[in-house]
Amino acid sequence: MVFHLTAEAGGKRESEDPNHHDPSPSSSLFTSPQLNAAPREQSRQNSSVTNKHSPVTPQPNQLKRSYEAESLSVYVPAKPILKRPRSSADTATATPASRETQFDNTEIIFNLDSVNPGVLRWIQGDSWPKEYFESKTMSHLLKKKLVASLRRKRSESSVSGASSTTPSDQKPREFKSAPYQDPRYLTLLQTKRSYMTEDGEGPRTESRAFCRSLLTQDQDVPPTSRFSEGIFQLTCSRINGRNEAKVIQDITRLIVPSAEELADFGAKKLCCLVESVNEGWNNSIPLTGTRPQPDYSVGFKREAFSQEQLEKLAPLIGDFIFGDQCYFMATYYMYFPFLTCEVKCGAAGLEIANRQNAHSMTLAVRAVVELFRLVKREKEVEREILAFSVSHDNNIVQIYGHYAVIDGSNISYYRHPIYSFDFTTLDGKERWTTYKFTKSVYDTWMPMHFKRICSAIDDLPAGADFDVPPLPQDSGL
């Protein structure tokens, strides 16, 4: 479709090309009212002897449209065809309805078929598309929207094969943490009711006291390691100022021990656990446009649940092998994650790590709360610490517990500071504190948490198909 945009001293008009016929109904939107031919002809003659750049004062009701057209012209991909003068013969032979007003003795022809659809909508009187008002600096955060419901969603990353650990799944460390470096990410989490603080009341008193007891439980530590006497100071010197990969290689497993390794060396009660390392949580319905990818995370393996329990979860999980998303899985092999660890170095490293952990643990707490909502027992887990996170660099460790507050249909997520310290001070007096705390989480807290989850699954009706209202916040951007 081709249209002429022309103007004269009295204002701006739009009309169709007299030689172009378009039967579409929308073309009538651009037909201008007829104007008297004699004044128009006189205007053309006057324009031939006057300065073609003489100023023209538009009518007041045209100022806004002219300004918007100029300021938004960057969105019009079609360039105007070369301007051409109109002869008086053309005017004499044209019908009044098809004549075009003149501005500086020229006309501008646009091919509207190639105009940006949003601009075309605006020309036709519709509102300007709201996506053009979104900040481009946050576009990586505001990329897509997924409707949040307990029904499973097919992951965009799933193809003909299983959602397995692949190089594309393990994004480079710098790439995966880039969105969290923006200080506005904290605000983005808050719009999803995820807060990196306590609320006024905090977690339950019993839950808080239990977390303190986990810090004081005695646990065995490796007899020989980089944290051993005589080697610890050398280790601290070696990782000082180094990158995250070096810190993870040398000390992270001495701060947050591997659940699978402990199980392999005799801790049989941990055989129900599975861990992931730098793997994207592709099977979890996202909270924001950024997919969680913790440096280390722990949850329950599929074999931890009975066949009857898996059958009850099946309608809520879907085809997880091929990438269906749900609230209750992180990866295709991990159910109900409850621990994450993030490692960062640099001046603002721990704050970035805390944002990553807050995001991941919001999904972990959400999984438990939504399960209990299904069986009308959500008050049992309100203000209970349902997950833990550890952030550390080459000398500082921060431990948090994560809990939910339920207000009707609204669920808000908060974190409770458990302990923050420098493990290099006092000759490394507390270098094993986080290691022992994590082992206590595995040995003492995890069995109770698993029993709690299983009791809710057992209350699910067999073969039921659920249609639970969506969360009040969007699941993704």
- How would you write the pLDDT of the chain (477 residues) with one tens digit per residue? 554 444 444 444 444 444 544 444 444 433 444 444 444 445 444 444 444 444 444 444 444 444 444 443 444 444 444 444 554 444 444 444 444 444 444 444 555 565 666 666 666 766 655 555 444 433 332 333 333 445 445 544 443 344 444 444 555 656 667 788 888 889 999 999 999 999 989 999 999 999 999 999 999 999 999 999 999 999 999 999 899 999 999 999 999 999 999 999 999 999 999 999 999 999 999 898 889 999 999 999 999 999 999 999 999 988 877 778 999 999 999 999 999 999 998 767 899 999 999 999 999 999 999 999 999 999 999 999 999 999 999 999 999 999 999 998 899 999 999 999 999 999 999 999 999 999 999 999 999 999 999 999 999 987 665 554 444 444 333
Mapping DSSP to helix (H, G, I), strand (E, B) and coil, where does residue 425 land? coil
Contact 335, 363 (CB under 8 A): no
* Pairing, β 387-392 against β 335-343: parallel
291 vs 285: CA distance, rounded Å: 9
Distance CA 141, CA 157 (A): 17
Write down the residue that tokens 């051409």 correspond to.
84
Task: Determine the Cα–Cα distance for residues 210 and 448; give it in Å rounded to an integer.
Answer: 12
Q: Tokens 């996506």 correspond to what residue? A: 131
Q: What is the pLDDT of residue 67?
A: 40
Whose CA is closest to 113, among 33, 13, 17?
A: 17
Contact 477, 289 (CB under 8 A): yes
Residue 436 corresponds to which tokens in the numbers above? 């022992």
pLDDT score for 114: 58
User: What are 76's two structure tokens?
Assistant: 């019009």
Handedness of CA 248, 301, 171, 143 (dihedral sign): negative
Crossing angle of helices 446-458 and 349-374, rounded to 10° = 40
Angle separating helix axes 446-458 and 307-317, nearest 10 degrees:
70
Residue whose token pair is 């032979």:
93
What is the spatial distance between Cα 293 and Cα 73, in angstroms, rounded to a whole number?
40
State whether the Cα torsion 99-100-105-109 is positive or negative: negative
Look up the pTM and report it: 0.65
